[in-house]
Chains A and B, each alone.
Chain A
């Protein structure tokens, strides 16, 4: 199942970076994890999958019945157990299969993420273990999203995936990815490299729901390339406890009028350390970006970062970080950065960290809500980022996640 693809230059660079720590997040000792896990058997239909329960999948936004989905991909530890496209115009393969099938895929391999960015990208390059390949053919539009689930159950396993997503010219692709682990897994590490290519006039929405266990460490590495008139939207939701998480996806807008939007909903439970950033580099005129994060700590630590770089004039971007501290053990560190490199860039940011406004709580109480219900309503509202252009099915999914987590918190 695990193959070594890279030889030559890529491999040399990866080897040189094998010990290189990431600039953010706690440094993990990769030798503490194992690359060995039991293999699982392939199922032709998701419903035959015995290893993961329906509810567990649902908590990561994955529909076991496959209803209202255009196709599915499921990987358990290092094994792809299911992959199938249900609609025409979209393709789902494992990355290994895709690399074998398409010679041209090499042109998309390690092109948006640096192989030697840190020891985690290097680890994925040196021994890649599957991951998904999704592609929307030119002009194709699926009504329902494709879903992917990356699941972990082997204690101390390091799950390494390399995903490649291509939206060909004029296509529309919606993806919902649920990352989850067996609750009793103890320690585990997930390393995921994801490369997105949004071609001319294409639209991609990528909704990722993380539902890990308290002992998990997670280091996703994502790069996005958006061409002329293309749109990339990322919605990232993490509300369940885990040990540590660090990611800083970067989108490059290289075509005229390209757009990227990053929305993050972060809830840190006690003991969780979340370091989540989003970066957009605007290098084509008329391109625009929006980074919005909502961070709530119930006792954990959150670093909410954002970085926008305007390299040419005529670009527009806005960055917004808002944080709520609901527990005295929690802390939020908001770091918005703007970097303008041309005279007529239009970039702005706002950041606010604090507690729930008592005035709002009392306002709702005067309407008949108990104090707990008032607080819960405000927190849900706070996390309810309205995302323009997101298909209703995904918006409902995100709202459901937020409601679920809030009900649990009560």
Chain B
């Protein structure tokens, strides 16, 4: 029983993960544990491997795990396809989602929820009612793409949210809306114990104004060089740059 409880507590565990993309080694020896109800943020310079980590956790075949494993609630999911992982409660917000022609945002949201979600009211929350009949992501602006992604995640209702730069390309007005939606998805306003977890990539840290994070990680050259208080990390990065993070650990 104690083991099972521990598994539930440690929702997502990444152990000694090495990942290659098209034969190029991108990640090496990445370790992190997201506990039940926690939100983690990932910082790191461009090309450090942040998106690769999220894509590998979601299980996209191009992101090949060469060593280590990914464990979800005690189950090793390293060999599972993205849809098997999605059905086990992992959801991802794409940084640059593709357009799927002929499939409307309404249909897409219905597919995400297995046909059960109240798509109309969810769309209202992210101000996308007018977009429901449009082909998913077709001709959407940067901010609209983020909101479309959030609408799909709301419909999917995953336990673990992987968010890749949710605030990039979003204007100040919509940032609030995006922030609120993510807060809700992560049960940040819940008074009782939260169960939803988040792993959020951010460059600017703006999202932290809306979503409180528990742990921050700095990823440099394919591995986590620092884990700790996200606010302090962000402050350090703003002041001294990532160079200092890397130096700090040497």
Binding site for B on A (CB under 8 A): 357, 359-360, 362-371, 374, 377-378, 380-386
Contacts and interface: CB of A to CB of B under 8 A. Distances in A.
Contact of B114 (A365, A368, A378): A368
A199 to B, nearest CB: 33
A386 B104 CA distance: 11
Report whether over half of chain B's contact residues are helix, strand or loop; otherwise say mixed. Answer: mixed
A311 B191 CA distance: 71
Contacts of B135: 381
Interface stretch (B25-33, B91-99, B198-206): B91-99
A139 B112 CA distance: 47
A374 B86 CA distance: 13
Contacts of B100: 360, 363-364, 377-378, 381
A99 B200 CA distance: 74
A368 B83 contact: yes
29 contacts: A357-B98, A360-B98, A360-B100, A362-B82, A365-B81, A365-B82, A366-B60, A366-B86, A366-B92, A366-B94, A367-B91, A367-B152, A367-B156, A368-B83, A368-B87, A368-B111, A368-B112, A369-B83, A371-B81, A371-B83, A374-B83, A377-B103, A377-B111, A380-B102, A380-B103, A381-B100, A381-B135, A385-B102, A386-B102
A278 B111 CA distance: 35
Given A367-B156, A384-B103, 7 more contacts: A363-B94, A363-B100, A364-B111, A366-B82, A367-B152, A377-B111, A385-B102
Contacts of B98: 357, 359-360, 363
B250 interface: no
Nearest to B133: A386
Contacts of A360: 98, 100
B182 interface: no
B58 interface: yes
**Which of B58, B86, B101, B156 has the most A CB atoms < 10 Å from its CB?**
B101
A363 B95 CA distance: 12
6 tightest CB-CB pairs across the interface, nearest first?
Answer: A381-B102, A384-B102, A381-B103, A368-B86, A365-B82, A365-B83
Contacts of A383: 102
Contact of B103 (A359, A371, A378, A385): A378
Interface string B122-151: 000000000000010000000000000000
B93 to A, nearest CB: 10
A24 to B, nearest CB: 28
Contact of B111 (A369, A384, A385, A386): A369
Contacts of A385: 102
Contacts of A370: 83
B108 interface: yes
Contacts of A359: 98
A367 B103 contact: no
A369 to B, nearest CB: 6
A365 B86 contact: yes
A381 B83 CA distance: 20
Nearest to B96: A359
Nearest to B97: A363
B60 A362 contact: yes
Given A377-B103, A381-B101, A367 B111 contact: yes
Nearest to B135: A381
A378 B114 CA distance: 17
Contacts of A364: 100, 111
A167 B86 CA distance: 53
Contacts of B111: 364, 367-369, 377
A374 B135 CA distance: 16
A358 to B, nearest CB: 8
B142 to A, nearest CB: 17
Nearest to B93: A366
Nearest to B86: A368
Contacts of B58: 366
A397 B225 CA distance: 59
B144 to A, nearest CB: 16
Contacts of B103: 377-378, 380-381, 384
A386 B107 CA distance: 14
Contacts of A381: 100-103, 135
Contacts of B94: 363, 366
Nearest to A362: B60
A362 B102 CA distance: 17
Interface string B42-86: 000000000000000010110000000000000000000111001
